[in-house]
Structure 1
Amino acid sequence: MSSQVQHFAEAANQFCSWAEHAPQSPEAEAGTALRLLSSLYQQALTLPDTFAEGEPAETTDEEWKSIYRRFGALPFNYYSQRFDPMDVQNDALELGDLADDLADTWRDLRRGLSLFKSGHVAAAGWEWRQSFWQHWGHHAAGGIYALHCWLAEHSQGAA
């Protein structure tokens, strides 16, 4: 078993467990979200580029909506961002949604966890790596920056 996949599974399980439990204070939630997202992001960069097939369990819309509502406990929801930060000619800002960022990350992590827990370790690693580069990594990066800015302003960075 790849140690990178094992370590990522532990971080993914920690994030999903936090997401599936009752929230703490808004300030504590912001600090926890930043720590967990940052850890996931860093560890995703080390996932092996090894293809393996597996059929992950799907999350229902109602499950996702429940997690989205749970993230309403954060101290803010919307933030501004650039859709494509590489397009420096375009000044247009987009609206980011932190609850959506976290709920989408949770959904993608759960897919890989379903594979991991059923013994399809390589397939879980592939699922997490692909979904990181294609989907949840964008959400995590936006959320990390927004959370950092909020905590720097409201908590002197004491997350």
Structure 2
Amino acid sequence: MEIEEVEEFLCSAISYCELVENYRDHTDNNNLNQLLISVSSLYAEAMSLPEVEPKNDEVSDLNFDLPDVNLEKNETYWVVFDPYILEEPVRGSLTDDLIDIYKDLKEGVLLYQRGEHLEAIWHWKFNFEIHWGRHALNAMRALHSINFS
């Protein structure tokens, strides 16, 4: 198993979770820039996570509180879900993106911290491919626009 890639991803996931948990000031451009850097790093690092099979198919409930993030004027943006299908854009929610990424990452972090490493890696990679990866791309697009417009 590529331990170095997993350790880098774990550190980035913990850093992202702490950033979101401590997010307070929605007007601070440094916070928005840090979110963009963090989400971008996570996306790139997730591409290098190894393919693994979990030892257990069932994971016990991982209970944790979701952080309160409010982006006010930067909350909604326009998005097209599938760039290969001609459809009208819909409203996206940056808070929803950030919290969905947080939830999928935090669950993996908790699994990893309790010694369920294969389950954590599988969880991160599987959910990256089907869920949080799309949220990350949408969040990066919105955060890029906020930071550089």
The residue that corresponds to 1:157 in the other structure is: none
Show the counterpart of 2:12.
11
1:71 is matched with 69
Q: Which residue does 1:27 correspond to in 2? A: 29
1:58 correspondence with 2:59: no
2:45 corresponds to which residue?
43
The amino acid across from 1:20 in the alignment is E
Task: Tell me the equivalent position of 2:96.
Answer: 100
The one of 109, 116, 133 aligned to 1:113: 109
> Hey, what's the Cα distance between the residues in 2 that align with 1:113 and 1:56?
14
> d(CA) in 2 for partners of 1:6 and 1:126?
14
Task: Tell me by how many angstroms 1:26 deviates.
Answer: 3.1
Identity among equivalent pairs (%): 28
Could you list the per-position Cα deviations for residues 21-75 of structure 1 after superposition, in whole angstroms to 9, with x for gaps in the alignment? Answer: 1424431221111011001001000000111134264346xx23xx2xx321465
Partner of 1:132: 128
CA RMSD, Structure 1 to Structure 2 (Å): 1.8
Q: Which runs of 5+ in 1 are unaligned?
A: 154-159
Q: 1:150 aligns with which of 142, 146, 149?
A: 146
In the alignment, structure 2 segments of 5+ residues that lack a partner are none
Deviation per residue, 1:92-126 (Å, 9 max, x gap): 00111000000010000011001110112122111
TM-score, length basis structure 2: 0.89
